[in-house]
Structure 1
Amino acid sequence: MLYYNSHNNHLANNLRKNMTKEERHLWYDFLRNYPIKFYRQKQIGNYIADFYCHKAKLIIELDGSQHYEKDNQHADKKRSAYFNRYNLYVMRFSNLDIHQHFSEVCISIDEYIKNNNPSDGFAASSPTGEP
């Protein structure tokens, strides 16, 4: 079980209730019905991951424009390094990727999971959320 800071409970709940447009799109149109369970706004240590899949040891982060600032890039590297210490793989996508390349984002997530969990033998939904 992963450690988390219980002081972030309220923040995580608030983030789940107030997802960004891009987070809602990825969640409702792909991850929510994915054959392997994903969690949204999952607390891990002192951080809150946008999306987390325990079985695949995968974190998905969606980055808005603020992530292109130098200080935030450093913070993102530190955050990813923390997750990596727990053998969690971090996939980062920009909000622009969600808007302009949604199918490719979904395919990338699906391929990562299938390539790193080959013994599971599940059939993932299509990138558009259709079976």
Structure 2
Amino acid sequence: MTESKTLSNAKILRTQQTEAEQRLWYHLRAHRFMSLKFKRQKPIGRYIVDFVCMEQMLVIELDGGQHSEQIEYDQRRDAWLRSQGYTVLRFWNNAVMQELDGVLEQIRLMIILEPSPPPPLPQAGEGR
């Protein structure tokens, strides 16, 4: 998929969020969650992730009932994201709708237990 097509698809997905995505986004947006900046429907490589905190290299994916057929695709996708340094958390939509506090606590614990990677060292000639 071309970059412009991926960006176009991401914009469409932002306008067609599921109820679970809307509910979780309310808590993640505008630095509301642990003062971190999250983005939604963000292209990363050839994939579009539901939510990402770039500072923590954390991807959050929500899955609906139809996802049982996509297990293999999701596994390949998650493996690629992990190879790029991201941690991937997956939750079922019904978990967000019925157990939101538990979902938010799992995200919080992941951030606390796996802090963000250190920033890259400056290139030669940069910095002091």
Alpha-carbon displacement from aligned partner over 1:57-83 (angstroms, at most 9, x marks no partner):
1000000011112xx100000110110
Alpha-carbon displacement from aligned partner over 1:1-55 (angstroms, at most 9, x marks no partner):
xxx8332111100111111100000001x11122110000000111100000011
Q: State the secondary structure of the residue aligned to 1:8.
A: helix
CA RMSD of aligned residues (A): 1.4
The offset of 1:117, in angstroms, is 2.3
> Within 1, Cα distance between the matches of 2:84 and 2:4?
19
Q: Report the TM-score when normalising by structure 2.
A: 0.83
**Which residue type is aligned with residue 27 of structure 1?**
W
Aligned residues: 112
**Which residue type is aligned with residue 28 of structure 2?**
L
Alpha-carbon displacement from aligned partner over 1:89-120 (angstroms, at most 9, x marks no partner):
100000111112110000000111122228xx
Q: Report the TM-score when normalising by structure 1.
A: 0.81
**Which residue type is aligned with residue 12 of structure 1?**
A
> Which residue is 2:126 aligned to?
none
Higher relative contact order (CA 8 A, sep 6+): 1
> Which residue is 1:53 aligned to?
53
Q: Does 1:10 align with 2:31?
A: no
Larger of the two Rg values belongs to structure: 2
Q: State the secondary structure of the residue aligned to 1:106.
A: helix
> Within 2, Cα distance between the matches of 1:88 and 1:96?
24
Which consecutive residues of structure 2, in runs of 5 or more, have no partner in the other structure?
A: 117-128
> Within 2, Cα distance between the matches of 1:116 and 1:90?
12
Which consecutive residues of structure 1, in runs of 5 or more, have no partner in the other structure?
A: 119-131
- Partners of 1:5 and 1:44 within 8 A in 2: no
